[in-house]
A and B are shown apart, each in its own frame.
Chain A
């Protein structure tokens, strides 16, 4: 164990053990609802057991000790010797957290370190919990070898292993090439001949009963058809067995035993792949998509130029085939990067449980659509935002039991967390049936904190007022609680969702609850864009951010504080003229205000909770593009997130919606 692979093994252990612990969290919450579930208890027990086992090999004694204590309780639980109490659950969960922390230390330092030695109290508590209710039980039943003083058979075998080996063969073992445990135990005088014979006798009896049962008519013999040919041959005379079994000598009986029920063949079906490799494949597919777009474009031009020409129509056919394959390939590659949101959702039941216990609230977390899949990079970004949103619901949203009772709501508050597909988006919703948010209180707070002034407050719609909670430094609770309200939470939500070009929508009814809706793009590398024109130039706006496009009369633009706005369905929408932003000469008469009857295009874009309208001259259509970074060239040019090559071979700049919205906010 001292060779180089040791380090790798420790790495494996860390990864696998952490995965186990993660799933344990989930299992425990389920167990609390269904404490009698033996299957679940077995799974949990096995996880603790496995971690203990391999930690033992690697010499992580502290982990072994803690895992052992947890395993001890779990073993008693699964054998029904004790029953689960909330208190016990708390300590078991704590043990899992501690184990996780210890393993993380191992992953960082390669050793356990000294910091973990203060588990004595936790271990003692766990042991008390395990022992407290079964003082009369004899220890033997639950004692594992490591800390046992009892002379178990194995201990003796171990000891004797170092003694002289191989006494004279016993008569029974004469014809065998290999020995079995029975012989070894007998040899070492750990078991008497009578005892061993007794065991074998029992075994034969059981086998006979089994055999009898299996051939008895009326008893099902499933899967017999699937047997391999040689097994069939061996057991062909099935119907004769009942008669024969009585007459045959013992040795021969075994041969007539029914074959084992063949198990369906199980192959390893997953492999772990370095994420860099997937990123590389994704990149290559991106290049392919660009080439495909380009070919597509050329081919359609050729077809016009040489109409009816055999070669050009053959080319068109090949390209349309290539088109299909590329699209499928792209989807397939995207799928390899997808992970179910369960990966993040699974930690929330535990979190809600802990928080609500702490606050003395009664809360049920309902989860829907956890099998919905998202790109890995998106998954990584939404974990923290969801933590904050759910904490918020638990802390600020759901009322205390008393308050709920008073207003006639059921004592148990409900928080719903759901994920679903919606076109090219995944929509994740966090909602609660709590007290909701009051736009007026939010406005008042925002004015107090100097986030907005009185005048703005008056003009804000209720919906816009709700969005104020995403402003940095905003927290409605006067006194920050342990759980949320440190004034950073919602800001983090916004930042992270923006990073992945997601959209935040917020909805709240006073007294009935709040909901936050996150609209997230399926993937980040290859995107659908809206191609727009300003003057002679062409830009691409990520379609993920586009809410709608409008054609409005120049005359409907109003000016507030020297800023151009329009009134869109009772909400004020700030406008940004793309041409002006980039210093492009706009086509005649547009933007100069000379012709008020002139119609212009407005692309309404949204990011996180903000919406603005981008004024452009032309809308050309939709195109799938691959974002290419501009690298150093991009420095200093705000408003551009990258570039791409369109089907007609032009390099087109991709608009960075986030910084556009930012620039509207600043002025």
Chain B
């Protein structure tokens, strides 16, 4: 696995418990540099100033949801190629297609295990 375990990741979710869970799982996989934001707006400003390598965001959030966040990330020249993993509870086809359209790199259905998350991330960062 050629995953860069030192890459800087930002976890976006409005539920702090969920952020902790995801951070915990990332830690289990071996990632060391993990930051968080409680909604899309906070994430946008953090992403704008910080050199993040990877975004893991919840879909359904108040203020700014995951898709909106993704669109804004893609719309900004400096972050338009930033890898983005969407976390969601819905597995409907139209949702997947919407995410594809918005330019998501991959997506994962919760709850998930460390193995699943690792697989999903590996898909985004092929060897």
Residues of A within 8 A of B (CB): 1, 3, 5-6, 8-9, 12-13, 16-17, 43, 46, 49-50, 52-54, 56-58, 140-141, 143-145, 148, 152-155, 158, 161-162, 165-166, 176-182, 184-185, 196, 199-200, 202-203, 228, 230-231, 234, 254-255, 257, 259-260, 263-268
Contact = CB atoms under 8 A, between A and B. Distances in A.
Nearest to A42: B62
A180 B103 contact: yes
Given A50-B15, A166-B126, A196 B100 contact: yes
A145 B109 contact: yes
B17 A9 contact: yes
Contacts of A259: 75-77
Interface in B43-101: 44-45, 48, 60-64, 71-72, 75-78, 80-81, 83, 89-93, 96-97, 99-101
- Ordered nearest first, which 8 A-B pairs have the shortest CB separation? A56-B111, A145-B91, A154-B91, A161-B119, A152-B91, A13-B17, A260-B72, A57-B111
B25 A181 contact: no
A556 to B, nearest CB: 66
13 contacts: A17-B17, A50-B15, A53-B110, A145-B89, A158-B109, A178-B105, A178-B124, A178-B125, A180-B100, A181-B104, A184-B123, A228-B48, A260-B71
Residue with the highest number of chain A CB atoms closer than 10 Å, among B28, B64, B92, B105 = B92
Nearest to A145: B91
Contact of B126 (A49, A141, A158, A179): A179
Contact of B109 (A50, A58, A154, A166): A154
Nearest to B98: A199
A16 B48 CA distance: 29
A264 B97 CA distance: 30
Contacts of A16: 15-17
B116 interface: yes
Contact of B83 (A50, A178, A263): A178
A9 B83 CA distance: 27
A298 to B, nearest CB: 51
Contacts of B122: 165
Contacts of B104: 180-181
A6 B106 CA distance: 27
Contacts of A165: 122-123, 126
Contacts of B75: 257, 259-260
Contact of B91 (A6, A144, A184, A268): A144
B124 to A, nearest CB: 5
Nearest to B45: A265
B80 A5 contact: no
Residue with the highest number of chain B CB atoms closer than 10 Å, among A8, A57, A196 = A57
Residue with the highest number of chain B CB atoms closer than 10 Å, among A5, A162, A178, A259 = A178
Contact of B100 (A13, A49, A185, A254): A185
A141 B72 CA distance: 28
Contacts of B83: 178
Nearest to A10: B17
A260 B76 contact: yes
A9 B10 CA distance: 19
B35 interface: no
A145 B117 CA distance: 16
B50 to A, nearest CB: 13
A47 to B, nearest CB: 9
A1 B24 contact: yes
A71 to B, nearest CB: 9
B119 A162 contact: yes
B89 A181 contact: no
Nearest to A258: B75
Nearest to A190: B96
B20 A254 contact: no
Given A13-B17, A50-B15, A178-B105, A153 B96 contact: yes
B18 interface: yes
A336 B15 CA distance: 24
Contacts of B77: 231, 234, 255, 259
Contacts of B100: 180-182, 185, 196, 199
A179 B41 contact: no
Contacts of B15: 16, 50, 53-54
Residue with the highest number of chain A CB atoms closer than 10 Å, among B14, B16, B64, B109 = B109
Contacts of A182: 100
Contacts of A264: 41
B13 to A, nearest CB: 8
A6 B27 CA distance: 13
A155 B110 contact: no
Nearest to A50: B15
A9 B76 contact: no
B8 interface: no
B37 to A, nearest CB: 9
A255 B81 CA distance: 13
Residue with the highest number of chain B CB atoms closer than 10 Å, among A50, A158, A177, A179 = A50
Given A153-B96, A266-B45, A9 B21 contact: yes
A152 B107 CA distance: 13
B20 A1 contact: no
Given A180-B106, A266-B39, 18 more contacts: A9-B20, A53-B110, A53-B111, A54-B17, A148-B91, A162-B119, A165-B123, A178-B105, A179-B123, A180-B104, A180-B124, A184-B105, A184-B106, A234-B77, A255-B77, A257-B75, A260-B72, A263-B72
Contact of B28 (A1, A140, A234): A1
A49 B60 contact: yes
B16 A12 contact: yes
A280 to B, nearest CB: 26
A56 B110 CA distance: 8
B18 A54 contact: yes
Given A50-B14, A259-B76, A161 B123 contact: yes
Contacts of A155: 91
B105 to A, nearest CB: 5
Nearest to A207: B75
B42 interface: yes
Contacts of B16: 12, 16
A231 B16 CA distance: 32
A165 B28 CA distance: 22
B21 A152 contact: no
A280 B123 CA distance: 52
Contacts of A6: 24
Nearest to B112: A57
Contact of A181 (B99, B109, B116): B99
